Amino acid sequence: MSECVIDTSAVMAYLNDEAGADLAEEWLEKGAAISALCVQETITNLVRRNVDRDSALEMIEALGLEVHILDLDLAVDAGTLIALTRSKGLSHGDRACLALARQLQRPALTADTAWADIAEDVGVDVLLIR
């Protein structure tokens, strides 16, 4: 069972050994869930850095993430979060992560400090890695 829902920014911080990678690793070791939309964002970031498809997939699979599809309920919940998050410029993936965290009743792990400002409004505990 996952202990948190991880965002693309935290996955990328871990994969690139950026600031906050150590904290992201701790949560990954405990078990993390992720939205399939955040997997898409992560793969996109890796491919933009010239990582080929198979290598990017191997990197994602090696993390042992519990991947959740974006079904209708989750998509609607994530979509409606725009009303609460518009001022912070959150992406589709960000909102999918928050909606999944809310659905699973788990904290959301991110490197995006803007999430701290909307955590209470969204009803999700936000854990910042940096």
pLDDT tens per residue across span 44-89: 999 999 999 999 999 999 999 999 999 999 999 999 999 999 889 8
Q: What pLDDT was estimated at residue 22?
A: 98
Whether 1 has a pLDDT exceeding 90, the answer reads no
d(CA 99, CA 51): 29
| Sequence-ordered list of residues with C-beta below 8 angstroms from that of 115, at least 6 positions apart, any chain | 88, 90, 94, 98, 108, 126, 128
Q: What is the dihedral of CA 115, 117, 81, 37, to 10 degrees?
A: 0
Whether 107 has a pLDDT exceeding 90, the answer reads yes
Per-residue pLDDT tens digits for 93-106: 999 999 999 999 99
Rounded mean pLDDT of 7-21? 98
Q: What pLDDT was estimated at residue 110?
A: 98
4-128: CATH number: 3.40.50.1010
Concatenating the DSSP letter of every residue in 61-93 gives HHTT-EEE---HHHHHHHHHTHHHHGGGT--HH
Of 106, 36, 43, 122, residue with least CA distance to 71 = 36
pTM of the model: 0.95
DSSP state of 120: H
Domain edges within the chain: 4-128
d(CA 108, CA 62): 20
